[in-house]
């Protein structure tokens, strides 16, 4: 705000953060005697948060598998966000039609290192349920279903353990090991009391920026990025919340596929709900595109860069 007072929305996010921390404490207290119920409570926390903060046209359900047009079925996921077009007659079935699923999430109460690699591998399986799209950089770099990992807290609690860096390192390592195309990236990883890691795609950079990289030649390339939004950023130590960052990023990603959400997504962006982050890049040759898109990208026939541009030929997709 112009007088330096934090926007009320940032304060509401901080209250959500406090509530989630309290729930985590309660879950941990009972987890040893009844781990199954503790896990269910964790999933319920995230499902409730999403149902209360995403538009009411999107229905949030728990526990199910996603079925593709070819009858391929995904591993079980904990929380699903369904599009407003989803048939009501199918809501009580635990096999959800892939074309009606906007987002899916795996939930953990305490994040551990193996969970990150498993989530990245599952992301690839989820993305493969949808037929690969072509015709624009956005369509070819993104699968229709957003997939992420949501956790209350983490296991890096020893002195000098640097949990933010540990999560970043494990995510980048798993990405290099399991992701063979930008569309397969894990879209987001949120640790409610630590930070939010989000996938972000760029479709083209001027050739001069890649002149020194072998394999890129005179043409541009695609870039996939993981942006680590954490309280380590000096400018946001006080007002940043991983949950606020999650809701802002998720709203913007959903808005690419559901245009009616773009006004609220823009609002979150204008009040800096996402926060600032540290970028970690992975470059790809232009061969990842279909021939028609690749030829146009290589000729630099792109619209101007800008996060506010809702255009499938923009330079950046967030």
Q: What's the confidence (pLDDT) of residue 1?
A: 44
Give percent of the chain above pLDDT 90: 65
> For residue 235, what are its two tokens?
């400018």
From CA 318, how far away is CA 309, in angstroms rounded? 10
Average pLDDT over residues 295-310: 70
Does the pLDDT at position 206 exceed 70?
no
Does the pLDDT at position 188 exceed 90?
yes
The larger pLDDT score, comparing residue 40 to residue 220, is at: 40
The string of pLDDT tens digits covering residues 151-185 is 999 999 988 889 999 999 999 999 999 999 999 99
The larger pLDDT score, comparing residue 126 to residue 209, is at: 126
Q: What's the confidence (pLDDT) of residue 287?
A: 87
From CA 101, how far away is CA 81, in angstroms rounded? 6
| Lowest mean per-residue pLDDT among 4-8, 103-107, 212-216, 266-270 | 212-216
pTM, to two decimals: 0.91
The string of pLDDT tens digits covering residues 273-285 is 998 899 999 988 8
The larger pLDDT score, comparing residue 271 to residue 215, is at: 271
């Amino acid at each position: 705000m112009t007088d330096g007072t934090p926007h009320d929305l940032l304060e509401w996010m901080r209250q959500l953060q406090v509530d989630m921390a309290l729930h985590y404490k309660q879950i941990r207290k009972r987890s040893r005697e009844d781990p199954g119920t503790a896990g269910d409570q964790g999933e319920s926390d995230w499902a409730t948060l999403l149902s209360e903060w995403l538009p009411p046209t999107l229905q949030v359900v728990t526990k199910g598998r996603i079925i593709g047009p070819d009858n391929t079925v995904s591993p079980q996921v904990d929380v699903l966000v369904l599009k407003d077009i989803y048939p009501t007659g199918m809501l009580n079935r635990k096999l959800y039609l892939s074309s009606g699923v906007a987002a899916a999430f795996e939930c953990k109460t305490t994040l551990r290192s193996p969970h990150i690699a498993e989530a990245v591998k599952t992301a690839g399986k989820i993305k493969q349920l949808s037929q690969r799209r072509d015709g624009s950089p956005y369509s070819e770099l993104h699968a229709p279903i957003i997939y992420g990992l949501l956790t209350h807290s983490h296991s890096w609690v020893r002195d000098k353990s640097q949990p933010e860096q540990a999560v970043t390192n494990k995510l980048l390592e798993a990405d290099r090991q399991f992701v063979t195309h930008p569309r397969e990236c894990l879209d987001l990883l949120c640790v409610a009391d630590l930070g939010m890691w989000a996938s972000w795609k760029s479709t083209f950079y001027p050739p001069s920026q890649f002149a020194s990289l072998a394999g890129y030649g005179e043409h541009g390339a695609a870039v996939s990025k993981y942006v680590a939004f954490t309280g380590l950023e000096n400018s946001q130590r006080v007002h940043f919340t991983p949950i606020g960052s999650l809701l802002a990023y998720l709203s913007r990603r959903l808005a690419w596929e559901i245009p009616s959400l773009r006004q609220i997504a823009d609002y979150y962006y204008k009040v800096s709900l996402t926060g600032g982050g540290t970028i970690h890049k992975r470059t790809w040759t232009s061969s990842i595109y279909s021939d028609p898109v690749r030829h146009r990208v290589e000729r630099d026939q792109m619209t101007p860069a800008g996060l506010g541009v809702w255009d499938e030929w923009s330079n950046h997709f967030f």
